[in-house]
Structure 1
């Protein structure tokens, strides 16, 4: 481990003093006085946020005012003058839950969306366009808005694909590394999915039929599919990026365990079930995906509505975790690096999906694999990984607390740690044994919280999965044992955001985590005749805002959006 390297950074001279809002204890907002924290950061939500034109019905979006930067002081008090003293240690970007979708795959259950809204999204044909626009935004921002430190790393915290298909994985890797994406599978000259099924259940964009989405105001858009399947180029990220497993990268539809032969065969087959014979059949499938996946083939065989004949495509084949890792290790997918995007050179054989990496001198990232190979939505950690996390933290800590709570001091350099996972602390209770290691105990998120409290140099645990902006302080037994859990919204469901996290030493016994959200680099609104890549990325955001299943709480409140999070270091 390397000693923390103090570096100078460019200040926002001339911006003037502004009133920063501080989150007091407990949860009361109070003004903390003048601050040099900027009130606008070009390209971020400090500057502007997409906002609806209308407060009811289907609406277009326009540029709205930016979100304020809020100082949160639950773990450490902000000290005056820190903006002038601080040194930038690291600057990183979190992308999460981009859910690149093969919208025509036969191995999907779109028809249960009235029960489980995420089963079908009207914008899902445009996920590649949305991600490429997000990549462009990361490149154009380039550095942290508070410290001007160029981005050291981009970390994508899981659910990179929607349904663990090789086609989806190729589009994801190409989008982040650079190249051309044609987001189409099956027939090359036509769309074969639920959005031209003629079924009332779905938005049929090219049809004048009044489906349930058009009844809610969704538009008719001629030549929608031809535009969506036009090749779109990605510049690729300019910054080295690292990958984390999500449950959708590991399980069928993010919940059904792999290895059920009839379901595996459906991926590359020619039959697509689009409409169940009755709402009861849809409910049976929804329940089976969550609790009894082996029952799915039998339920499908009883459907009274015949499946659609579609063009089979071998690129829809599902990948295994080892194949997912191997694709990242393929030299063709190195992009800005590093080789493997964090995964060890032999991880394609071992299947080990966790690793550590240097974000910047003195700041180390720990990438965890919180998926459970037995399937289901929620996760946990295997005992071997849990022990590896403890060993990694101990090796980079001069002071820590043992399991009994006694303080231990050793002669080694201190390193700051930021941990990354897909699942959150409260979505890690899936203790079903790993099919490849049935005797290994599984550990909960609450047990990981206890472990992290033992190491004062842990700054944050960054994750996704819930598609929600939510930031939680985790105070410890002493002030220095506290850290933050930073949960960020997805890039498939609105508000479709990424998050910048700048780490700065305030040289007063505290470190600030300056967390800033940003949207993709696409217009707030375009004419529906605009079929350019930027226009389709704009439509992607608009459709997500108007999705009949949209959950407004995913945006979070001000204390979960643009924030300064203070951590007491004891130094």
Structure 2
């Protein structure tokens, strides 16, 4: 029988009235820009915290039953799998994925399951891509050159995210240790178009409340799915569009059901937020600053079709980052003025700035179970930053990075100031294990563009971050997303220190997963990082007649599985899914 200590005892000691408990109950304490601040739940004023002290993440109370491993509700027990062989493939219950022990960095020792003590347990959510599917700036028309540039499931991102919240809420704790989950962390691309509608929906889904995933004319859907254009799935129409020829169903009433109000219970544990490129940049790739694009976002015109040759030219400019500020995109829209379709203007679709993103998290309406600001603080607002650190448990800290590049393009980098802050935070907390969170992976941080707000500051790639992390023996893991694929990489530095990089699949592309991560001390000179993937709570089997909130969440998964052109390798291999990642203690 496994034993747990740190996490369970932290929950039990929550009854003791000491400074750390008060901070945990009060909410977040951010160390943005290297300065600590404590926020009270009802105050926007910040008070200095002790030098070098990281904030505390509260955890759910330990369950009354003895802590024990479990599989129910995880991909160890089962995963969605096709039950038909061709055409539009229906999903059903499939076998689970086994746990794989990885010894790339240290040899596992016999008997560790009986010795181990839990250090921390948490959930990673990544790439939710909450989408305002009727937004005028969306690039659906790229489907003429790339069939996967528009996904048939995009109208159901809110229903899918709510179902994922329901799954997280139903988890008993860490699947390996049974220890209570300390928090959930989103690792970026929480929104899709950098639109205020999407930011409101995302914050409401995670903190709890009612969401109407609709914009423009609230009486009817206005977008590509009732446009009559055959390159898009027209679910409510008898038109034999391209997707229906692939076997997609006709679902009368789908559009009305997809934009009606849904209810989210909100996460029942504290949650933190890390920023991604789709949260920072319009369309996830263009820098802020062009008033034409900002006006177009809230206006009454939308481009829905584009010849393949022009679509290819635009897509290439995005991939190659030859138009980071969107000048060429603006020129394209102006050149196609006569091709624009009328839609209902909506000021709520306006892009939001990084400062507005932070302030939205600080809004008391979205505090939910806390912490206030979900990691961000007024210190971030004052310094113009979106990075911070927080204490996960007595001997574990979390560090959330901002790897987005304000100069444009979807790949990432970080500025010199943040890189120095990362080094200082690791050094100051050398007696605590560290888990680093970011949106981009080490291999996708190759964008050297300068920040327009800090033109004299250098930018640094993923190799530079790996070098800093590798200099500190307390680094255990770097947890990220962006690539929409499960991938776990072992890193060993020149200094001899080692850690794991854990990248998790998105929740917009199949297989639509989140990941539970548990840190344990094996009491034999090694540590283990356990990763366990979970799906949303929606049933694997869909019923085309069920257009309820739950039915649509199931359909969201099945549509994503069948999306034309979708990659089939995003689940990763067995070594990237449910794992035990062994490390030597530093």
Fold equivalence (TM over 0.5): yes
For 1:310-329, list aligned pairs within 5 A: 310-329=343-362
Match of 1:363 in 2: 396
C-alpha displacement of 1:377: 0.8
Give the conservation status (yes or no) of the 8 Å contact 1:284–1:299.
no
For 1:278-297, list aligned pairs within 5 A: 278-289=307-318, 290-292=321-323, 293-297=326-330
CA distance in structure 2 between the partners assigned to 1:463 and 1:117 by the alignment: 27
C-alpha displacement of 1:451: 1.1
Instruction: Name the SS of the counterpart of 1:155 in structure 2.
Output: strand
**Per-residue Cα deviation, 1:236-289 (whole angstroms, up to 9, x for no partner):** 00111010110000111111111112111111100010012x222222332344
C-alpha displacement of 1:301: 2.6
Cα 1:438–1:118 change in 2 (3 A) is farther
Give the conservation status (yes or no) of the 8 Å contact 1:40–1:46.
no
C-alpha displacement of 1:5: 7.2
Match of 1:497 in 2: 513
CA distance in structure 2 between the partners assigned to 1:345 and 1:162 by the alignment: 25
C-alpha displacement of 1:345: 2.1
**Per-residue Cα deviation, 1:96-116 (whole angstroms, up to 9, x for no partner):** 000000000101111103445
For 1:238-317, list aligned pairs within 5 A: 238-276=268-306, 278-289=307-318, 290-292=321-323, 293-303=326-336, 306-317=339-350
Please, which runs of 5 or more residues in structure 2 have no aligned partner?
10-67
Counterpart selection for 2:91 from 40, 57, 61: 61
Match of 1:403 in 2: none
2:348 counterpart of 1:332? no
CA distance in structure 2 between the partners assigned to 1:295 and 1:272 by the alignment: 17
Match of 1:90 in 2: 120
**Per-residue Cα deviation, 1:488-522 (whole angstroms, up to 9, x for no partner):** 00000011000000001100111110100000000
Match of 2:584 in 1: 568
Cα 1:360–1:118 change in 2 (3 A) is farther
Cα 1:337–1:40 change in 2 (3 A) is closer
Give the conservation status (yes or no) of the 8 Å contact 1:161–1:172.
yes
Query: 458-467 or 280-289, which moves further after superposition?
Result: 280-289
Cα 1:172–1:8 change in 2 (3 A) is closer
Query: 79-88 or 344-353, which moves further after superposition?
Result: 344-353
Instruction: Name the SS of the counterpart of 2:421 in structure 1.
Output: helix
Instruction: Name the SS of the counterpart of 2:273 in structure 1.
Output: strand
CA distance in structure 2 between the partners assigned to 1:295 and 1:454 by the alignment: 42
Give the conservation status (yes or no) of the 8 Å contact 2:69–2:175.
no
C-alpha displacement of 1:40: 5.9
Instruction: Name the SS of the counterpart of 1:393 in structure 2.
Output: helix
Counterpart selection for 1:436 from 437, 440, 453: 453
Counterpart selection for 1:152 from 167, 174, 182: 182
Match of 1:456 in 2: 473
Give the conservation status (yes or no) of the 8 Å contact 2:134–2:215.
yes
Counterpart selection for 2:499 from 468, 473, 483: 483
CA distance in structure 2 between the partners assigned to 1:249 and 1:304 by the alignment: 28
Instruction: Name the SS of the counterpart of 1:500 in structure 2.
Output: strand
CA distance in structure 1 between the partners assigned to 2:322 and 2:312 by the alignment: 12
Give the conservation status (yes or no) of the 8 Å contact 2:164–2:537.
yes
TM-score of the pair, normalised by structure 2: 0.87
2:410 counterpart of 1:373? no
What is the CA RMSD across the aligned residues, in angstroms?
Answer: 1.7
Counterpart selection for 1:516 from 515, 519, 532: 532
For 1:65-214, list aligned pairs within 5 A: 65-116=95-146, 119-214=149-244
Match of 1:424 in 2: 441
CA distance in structure 1 between the partners assigned to 2:465 and 2:540 by the alignment: 40
Give the conservation status (yes or no) of the 8 Å contact 1:40–1:66.
no
C-alpha displacement of 1:153: 1.1
CA distance in structure 2 between the partners assigned to 1:556 and 1:297 by the alignment: 37
TM-score of the pair, normalised by structure 1: 0.89
Please, which runs of 5 or more residues in structure 1 have no aligned partner?
10-37, 398-413
Match of 2:554 in 1: 538
